Amino acid sequence: MSADPPPDRCQYRDICSVDDLGHPVALPRPPRRIVSLVPSLTEALAVTVPERLVGATDWCTHPAGLDVARVRGTKNPDRAAIEALAPDLVVCNREENRRLDVDRLRAAGVPVWVTVIESVDEALASMRRLSAEALGVGEPAWLTAAAAEWARPVPAPPLRCAVPVWRDPWMVVGPRTFTGDVLARLGLVNVFVAGEDRYPHVAVDDVLAARPDVVLLPDEPYPFTADDGPEALPGVRSVLVSGRALTWYGPSLTTARADLLTALGPR
């Protein structure tokens, strides 16, 4: 979803906030019925204001046992189902969701809050704004704990890495991504950080030619396993990791750093 130019600020600040894109969101009172169209945001809302979350996508798997209405996927949400839930706020993300769906929900009179997250610092700041300005609650304990975890020193020595997120065709993490910033904070140097494409298509030979010290294989969006992924990269150390730890920016941030460093093992 492309960024909008900054619109005019709301005339009445007591009933209107602005989301991460600077778009005005009319909130005369803290929202009581919220639909989330992003798994990370769903988990954050379910932990922070569980009584307010009424809808989520089919891909929203955390917390376990989440019992809310399902509104299909991040790229193909069921807008009729969303409107039927009568939400006073829908929460989206610029990368995960389509601008078309955001525009159509807004045209139907549904307030939509769009987050923009391409780094750990942006994740922390965005979650603080969402909690304070949209939800009307203080900073949740999980967010304070996550900020402390990611303020720790960067481990050394650095390791060159590649992170496939899909195969057939192969795609890897490129520049200007949340995952890329997570890698840097773990002391990992992404061998595909150059270029314009945030998730470039590559050949297996490109990965091997880049000579990474380690290849991280997450279990989402492509479900890499011990039998599906490492065999395509002979001679390179492959490490299976949690996709949630590597790509989510909600409460998982409190444990993601330690989990990923444990998976990487001693240097």
Delineate the domains of the chain, giving CATH numbers in brackets: 16-148 (3.40.50.1980), 159-264 (3.40.50.1980)
Q: Tens digits of per-residue pLDDT, 227-243? A: 999 999 999 999 999 99
Tell me the pLDDT band of 173, cut-offs 50, 70 and 90: very high
Please tell me the predicted confidence (pLDDT) of residue 195. Answer: 86
Judged against a pLDDT cut of 50, whether residue 207 lies above it is answered with yes
Q: What is the pTM of this model?
A: 0.89
Nearest to 51 by CA among 142, 144, 133, 135: 135
Q: Which two tokens mark 64?
A: 């376990």
Q: How far is CA 96 from the centre of its chain?
A: 8
3-state secondary structure of 26: strand
Amino acid identity of residue 112, one-letter, is V
How many CB atoms within 10 Å of residue 219?
16
Judged against a pLDDT cut of 60, whether residue 11 lies above it is answered with no
Q: State the Cα–Cα distance between residues 60 and 94, nearest whole angstrom.
A: 17
- Higher pLDDT, residue 28 or 172: 172
Cβ atoms 43, 53 nearer than 8 A: no
Cβ atoms 14, 133 nearer than 8 A: no
Mean pLDDT score across all residues of the chain:
93
Mean pLDDT, residues 5-12 taken together = 41
Please tell me the predicted confidence (pLDDT) of residue 15. Answer: 55
Q: Would you tell me the crossing angle of helices 141-150 and 120-129 to the nearest 10 degrees?
A: 160
Q: State the Cα–Cα distance between residues 105 and 90, nearest whole angstrom.
A: 9
3-state secondary structure of 170: strand
